[in-house]
């Protein structure tokens, strides 16, 4: 993972993880109380049937009450619930709890998600900018993930709901059916543009400029250049 220096981009280290600032002493006290409430579950982990894996056991025990269950890139497990998260060691032992949901990284594996997560317009606009700046191989939207994942020849990029660009060196984990089959607007495509405060339908006749970012569009007997981010593919 590298710290990105380009304007408008942030590395993972620049993100403020949304966890309340409490002292470790107070957090430990809270965890102790909560753990007492799940003593029966903890005991169940010590009586696992032969052959069961930690992943299978966590899924079986928590899936009905979970929003998401992930296996982190470090081999740990996190169960997301309505009121917070339960963090497990790689062996399946409860480590600690939080009242927040830790952001999911592209190098984490989503084992289960009760619902899908949608992306917003800020992310879509950032994605178009990334496509213009990088040699993009694949764009991925995982089920249950709030982020776009972009695979380039050099690295993995995640675009979070705030439109922040996060760069990773590790390979993303995803299913083939989560790869978006979209493409960049090309010459001859019918597009939607905004001009004079109104939307118009036109056709792309020429593309030029650094990164092929400028598109010439013909509409209503006009021949006008638009930045790629301001041109939407119709068909």
User: Residues 144-194: pLDDT tens digits?
Assistant: 999 999 999 889 999 999 999 999 988 999 999 999 876 678 888 888 899
Residues 10 and 27 occupy one common structural domain: no
Nearest Cα neighbor of 110 from 70, 165, 64, 154 is 70
**E-strand spans in 89-140?**
94-98, 109-113, 136-140
CA 153 → CA 2, 70, 147, distances in Å? 15, 26, 19
Residues 146 and 176 occupy one common structural domain: yes
Residues 165 and 197 occupy one common structural domain: no
Q: Under DSSP, is residue 31 helix (H, G, I), strand (E, B) or coil?
A: helix
Nearest Cα neighbor of 45 from 94, 84, 87 is 94
Residues 62 and 98 occupy one common structural domain: yes
Domain end (from 72, 102, 132)? 102
Residues 154 and 46 occupy one common structural domain: no
Residues 26 and 95 occupy one common structural domain: yes
Name the least confident of 39-48, 97-106, 110-119, 127-136. 39-48
Task: Give me the domain span that covers residue 152.
Answer: 1-17+116-182
Q: What is the pLDDT of residue 147?
A: 97
Q: What is the distance between the alpha carbons of residues 7 and 14, in angstroms, rounded to a whole number?
A: 13
Q: What is the distance between the alpha carbons of residues 4 and 1, in angstroms, rounded to a whole number?
A: 9
In a domain, 204, yes or no: yes
In this structure, which long-range contacts are made by residues 38-41, counting pairs with CB atoms below 8 Å and at least 24 apart in sequence? Answer: 38/94
Q: Which residue has the higher pLDDT, 196 or 19?
A: 196
In a domain, 216, yes or no: yes
Q: What is the pLDDT of residue 134?
A: 86
Q: What is the pLDDT of residue 6?
A: 52
Q: Which residue has the higher pLDDT, 28 or 83?
A: 83
Q: Do the Cβ atoms of 212 and 226 come closer than 8 Å? A: no
The token duo for 171 is 């390979």
Q: What is the pLDDT of residue 139?
A: 93
102 pLDDT above the threshold of 50: yes
The token duo for 83 is 């009121």
99 DSSP 8-state letter: S
In a domain, 108, yes or no: no
Residues 138 and 158 occupy one common structural domain: yes
Output the CA angle 1-158-171, nearest 5 degrees: 55
2 pLDDT above the threshold of 50: no
Residues 195 and 149 occupy one common structural domain: no
In a domain, 109, yes or no: no
38 DSSP 8-state letter: T
Q: Do the Cβ atoms of 83 and 99 come closer than 8 Å? A: yes
CA 78 → CA 18, 66, 108, 177, distances in Å? 16, 10, 10, 24
Name the least confident of 12-16, 73-77, 205-209, 229-233. 12-16
Output the CA angle 106-109-113, nearest 5 degrees: 105
Residues 12 and 123 occupy one common structural domain: yes
13-72, pLDDT tens digit by residue?
454 544 444 333 333 333 222 232 222 333 333 333 344 599 999 999 999 999 999 999
197-227, pLDDT tens digit by residue?
888 999 999 998 887 889 999 999 888 999 8
In a domain, 107, yes or no: no
Total domains, the chain:
3
Residues 128 and 62 occupy one common structural domain: no
Domain end (from 102, 136, 154)? 102
Q: What is the pLDDT of residue 83?
A: 94
Q: What is the distance between the alpha carbons of residues 93 and 85, in angstroms, rounded to a whole number?
A: 14
């Amino acid at each position: 993972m590298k710290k990105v220096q380009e304007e408008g981009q942030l590395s993972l280290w620049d993100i403020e993880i949304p966890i309340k600032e409490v002292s470790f002493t107070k957090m430990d006290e809270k965890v102790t109380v909560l753990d007492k409430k799940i003593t029966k579950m903890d005991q169940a982990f010590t009586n696992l049937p032969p052959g069961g894996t930690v992943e299978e056991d966590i899924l079986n025990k928590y899936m009905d009450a979970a929003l998401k269950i992930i296996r982190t890139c470090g081999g740990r497990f996190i169960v997301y619930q309505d009121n917070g998260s339960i963090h497990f060691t790689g062996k399946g032992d409860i480590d600690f709890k939080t009242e927040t949901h830790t952001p999911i990284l592209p190098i984490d594996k989503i084992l289960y998600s009760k619902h899908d997560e949608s992306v917003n317009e800020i992310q879509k606009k950032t994605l178009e900018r990334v496509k213009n700046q990088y040699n993009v191989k694949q764009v991925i939207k995982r089920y249950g993930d709030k982020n776009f994942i972009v695979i380039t020849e050099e690295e993995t990029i995640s675009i979070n709901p705030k439109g922040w660009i996060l760069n990773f060196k590790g390979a993303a984990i995803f299913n083939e059916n989560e790869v978006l089959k979209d493409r960049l607007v090309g010459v001859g495509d019918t597009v939607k543009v905004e001009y004079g405060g109104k939307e118009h339908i036109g056709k792309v006749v020429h593309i030029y400029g650094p990164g092929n970012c400028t598109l010439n569009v013909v509409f209503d007997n006009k021949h006008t250049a638009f930045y790629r981010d301001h041109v939407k593919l119709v068909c």
